[in-house]
């Protein structure tokens, strides 16, 4: 197999794929990010979670979902009885995109070109891990996985087919829950997120 526009052989293991990804220059995001944040988890995981892109803390640590959104994610997994060590966790885009503001780095959504450029890595991860179920955390992951630009709410929480052999479940991104200003609404939405993840726990 040939790696898309790069004309290099496709790495045969997750380890090799991760090493390749750490040298990726397919889009300009590698210029300002600290490092590539590749996926992590067992090479034979039955479930793969796909987020949007690393945030500030993930960029520094080199690991997905270790910042505030990661805490929400970890709490939700614990709530529904999924052990994070048994699942593969990655992102649609593997470099942090931000604008500096004083000492802070403010997260920017990846654009369609960046999502498209990074899709190749996600596809290779799926091909190697061969998960039974892929969980899209938010609209960016869903767009990368299906090309679907529509509203997440139309498909959220229902198992759908992916590539003929897998299932796909779309739910909200954990950061969405952190941004809700109304505590009552937040409580409700966290409960809905947990209900979606219970479907994952059952499918595992
Ligand atoms: N948000 C994401 O989508 N992914 C991460 O790894 C962290 C925050």
Strand order in the sheet with 88-91: 88-91, 47-51, 133-137, 166-171, 160-162
**pLDDT at residue 204, as a whole number:** 81
Over range 70-85, report the average pLDDT: 98
Q: Counting atoms of ligand 1 from 1, which one is nearest the CA of 137? A: 3
Phi then psi dihedrals of residue 54, to 5 deg: -60, 150
CA distance 41 to 121: 15
Centre of ligand 1 from the C-alpha of residue 6, in Å = 27
User: What is the average pLDDT across 55-59?
Assistant: 98
- Ligand 1 atom at minimal distance to the Cα of residue 140: 3
> What percentage of the chain carries pLDDT values higher than 70?
96
For the CA of 173, the nearest atom of ligand 1: 3
Which residues are CB-contacts of 130 (< 8 A; sequence separation ≥ 6)? 44
Beta bridge partners of 91: 51
- Interval 11-42: pLDDT, tens: 899 999 999 999 999 999 999 999 999 999 99
Of 145, 139, 111, 146, which is closest to residue 125 (Cα–Cα)?
A: 145
11: DSSP letter? P
Render pLDDT for 142-171 as a digit per residue (tens, 0 to 9): 999 999 987 899 999 999 999 999 999 999
What is the predicted pLDDT for the residue at 1?
44
Q: Which atom of ligand 1 is nearest to the CA of 89?
A: 6
Q: What does the mean pLDDT of the chain come to?
A: 95
Predicted pLDDT of residue 2: 45
Distance 95 CA to ligand 1 centre (A): 10
State the pLDDT confidence band at 10, using cuts at 50, 70 and 90: confident
Look at the pTM and tell me if it is higher than 0.90: yes
Cα separation, 38 vs 94, whole angstroms: 6
For residue 150 the two structure tokens come to 């529509």
CA 29 to chain centre: 16
ipTM (interface predicted TM)? 0.93
Per-residue burial over 175-188, b if 16 or more Cβ lie within 10 Å, else e, is bbbeeeeeeeeeee
Using CA atoms, how far apart are residues 137 and 135, in angstroms rounded to an integer? Answer: 6
From the list 114, 122, 171, the residue with the least C-alpha distance to 145 is 122
Give the residues surrounding ligand 1 with Cβ less than 6 Å away.
51-55, 58, 64-65, 67, 69-70, 91, 175
Give Cβ neighbours of residue 183 (< 8 Å, ≥ 6 apart): none
Report how far residue 140's alpha carbon sits from residue 132's, in angstroms, rounded to the nearest whole number: 20
CA of 136 to the centre of ligand 1 (A): 12
Q: Are 47 and 200 in contact (CB under 8 A)?
A: yes
- Say what the pLDDT of residue 5 is: 54
Helix/strand/coil for 24: coil
Best of 58, 106, 115 for a ligand 1 pocket test (most atoms within 8 Å of beta carbon): 58
């Amino acid at each position: 197999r040939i790696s898309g526009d790069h004309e290099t052989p496709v790495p045969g293991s997750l380890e090799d794929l991760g090493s390749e990804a750490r040298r990726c220059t397919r889009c300009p995001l590698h210029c300002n990010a600290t490092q590539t944040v590749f996926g992590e988890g067992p090479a034979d995981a039955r479930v793969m979670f796909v987020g949007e892109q690393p945030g500030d803390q993930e960029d520094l640590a080199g690991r997905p979902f270790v910042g505030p959104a990661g805490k929400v994610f970890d709490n939700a997994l614990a709530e529904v009885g999924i052990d994070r060590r048994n699942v593969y966790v990655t992102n649609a885009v593997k470099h942090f995109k931000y604008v500096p503001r004083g000492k802070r780095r403010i997260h920017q959504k990846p654009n369609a070109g960046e999502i498209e450029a990074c899709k190749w890595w996600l596809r290779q991860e799926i091909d190697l891990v061969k998960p039974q179920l892929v969980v899209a955390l938010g609209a960016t992951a869903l767009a990368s996985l299906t090309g679907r630009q529509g509203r997440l709410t139309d498909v959220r929480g229902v198992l759908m087919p992916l590539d003929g052999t897998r299932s796909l479940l779309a739910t909200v991104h954990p950061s969405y829950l952190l941004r809700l200003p109304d505590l009552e609404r937040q409580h409700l939405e966290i409960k809905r997120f947990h209900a979606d993840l219970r479907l994952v726990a059952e499918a595992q």
